[in-house]
Chain A
Amino acid sequence: MRRLIFHRRHGRSALHDSLTIAGSIGVALLAGYLFLEASGIDAAGAYRALLVDPLGTSYGFFETLVKAIPLILTGLAVAVAFRMRLWNIGAEGQLYAGALAATYVALFTPDFGLPRAPLMLVAACAAGAVWAAVPGVLRATLGVSEILVTLMGNYVAILVADHLCYGPWKGKTTFGFPMSDRFPDDAALPAFAGTRLHVGLFVGVLCSLALWALLWRTKWGFQVRVAGSNVRAAEYAGYRVKRDAVVVMILSGTLAGMAGGVELSGVLHRLQPRFSPGYGYTAILVAWLARLHPLAVPLVAFLFGVLLTGGEQLQVMGISSSLVDVLQGLILLSVLAADAAANWRMAWVVHQGSALSEGVVHD
Chain B
Amino acid sequence: MLLTRMTVVLLSVVLLSACGDQASHKEDKGDEAGNPTKVDRKVGFIYVGPIGDAGWTFAHDQGRKALESRFPGLQTMCVENVKEGADAERVLSKLAQEGCTLVFATSFGYMDAVLAAAERFPATVFMHATGFKRAANVGTYFGRAYQTICLAGLAGGALTTSGKIGYVAPVPIPEVIRHVNAFTLGAREANPSCTVHVVWTNAWYDPAAEKDAARSLMDAGCDVIMSEGDSPAPIQAAEERGIFAIGYNSDSRAFAPTKYVTAAIWDWGVLYSRIVEEVLAGVWKSEDYWWGMETGLTTLADWGPAVPEDVRQLVASRQQDIVDGRFDVFDGPVFRQDGTRAIPADTRATDVELLGMTYFVQGVVGTVPK
Within 8 A of A (CB), among B159-191: 171-174, 177
Chain A residue numbers with a CB within 8 Å of B51 are 320
Query: What is the distance, in angstroms, from B23's C-beta to the closest C-beta of chain A?
Result: 10
Chain B residue numbers with a CB within 8 Å of A299 are 3, 6, 10
Closest to A291 in B: B2
Is there contact, CB below 8 Å, between B79 and A315? yes
Is there contact, CB below 8 Å, between A21 and B5? yes
Chain A residue numbers with a CB within 8 Å of B13 are 25, 51, 55, 303, 306
B356 within 8 A of A: yes
A119 within 8 A of B: no
Closest to B12 in A: A22
Q: A44-B20, A312-B91 are in contact. Are A318 and B2 (CB under 8 A)?
A: no
Which of A74-82, A235-243, A274-282, A349-357 has 4 or more CB atoms under 8 Å from chain B? A274-282
Within 8 A of B (CB), among A49-90: 51-53, 55-56, 59, 63, 66-67
Closest to B174 in A: A176
Is there contact, CB below 8 Å, between A316 and B87? no
B136 within 8 A of A: no
B273 within 8 A of A: no
A220 within 8 A of B: no
B350 within 8 A of A: no
Is there contact, CB below 8 Å, between A22 and B2? no
Number of interface residues of B (CB under 8 A): 57
Closest to A266 in B: B86
Query: What is the distance, in angstroms, from A201's C-beta to the closest C-beta of chain B?
Result: 14
Render A242-279 as a binary contact track against B, CB cut-off 8 A, 1 for contact.
00000000000000000000010001111011111100
Chain A residue numbers with a CB within 8 Å of B24 are 45
Is there contact, CB below 8 Å, between A176 and B109? no
Which of A121-129, A162-170, A224-232 has 4 or more CB atoms under 8 Å from chain B? A162-170
Is there contact, CB below 8 Å, between A321 and B50? yes
Query: What is the distance, in angstroms, from B116's C-beta to the closest C-beta of chain A?
Result: 8
B254 within 8 A of A: no
Closest to B357 in A: A176
Number of interface residues of A (CB under 8 A): 65
B8 within 8 A of A: yes
Query: What is the distance, in angstroms, from B172's C-beta to the closest C-beta of chain A?
Result: 6
Query: What is the distance, in angstroms, from B255's C-beta to the closest C-beta of chain A?
Result: 20
Is there contact, CB below 8 Å, between A175 and B174? yes
- Distance between Cα atoms of A289 and B43 in the complex (Å): 38
Closest to B1 in A: A14
Chain B residue numbers with a CB within 8 Å of A26 are 12
Chain B residue numbers with a CB within 8 Å of A176 are 173-174, 177, 356-358
Chain A residue numbers with a CB within 8 Å of B83 are 274-275, 277
Which of B92-100, B150-158, B236-244 has 4 or more CB atoms under 8 Å from chain A? B92-100
- Distance between Cα atoms of A139 and B120 in the complex (Å): 50
Render A32-60 as a binary contact track against B, CB cut-off 8 A, 1 for contact.
00000000000011011001110110010
B33 within 8 A of A: no
Q: A22-B8, A272-B85, A312-B87 are in contact. Are A56 and B357 (CB under 8 A)?
A: no
A150 within 8 A of B: no
Sorted from nearest, which 4 A-B pairs have the closest CB atoms?
A51-B17, A48-B20, A166-B369, A18-B8
Which of A's residues lie within 8 Å of B, judged by CB? 12, 14, 17-18, 21-22, 25-26, 29, 44-45, 47-48, 51-53, 55-56, 59, 63, 66-67, 162-163, 166-168, 175-179, 182, 196, 263, 267-270, 272-277, 290-291, 293, 295-296, 299-300, 303, 306, 309, 312-313, 315-318, 320-322, 335
Q: List 30 A-B contacts (CB under 8 A).
A: A18-B4, A18-B5, A22-B9, A25-B12, A26-B12, A29-B16, A55-B13, A55-B14, A63-B93, A66-B86, A67-B90, A166-B172, A168-B370, A175-B132, A176-B174, A177-B132, A179-B109, A196-B89, A267-B86, A275-B84, A275-B85, A276-B85, A296-B2, A296-B3, A296-B6, A299-B3, A303-B13, A313-B94, A315-B78, A321-B50
Further pairs besides A22-B9, A48-B25, A52-B25: 7, Cβ < 8 Å:
A59-B93, A67-B87, A176-B357, A295-B3, A299-B10, A309-B90, A321-B81
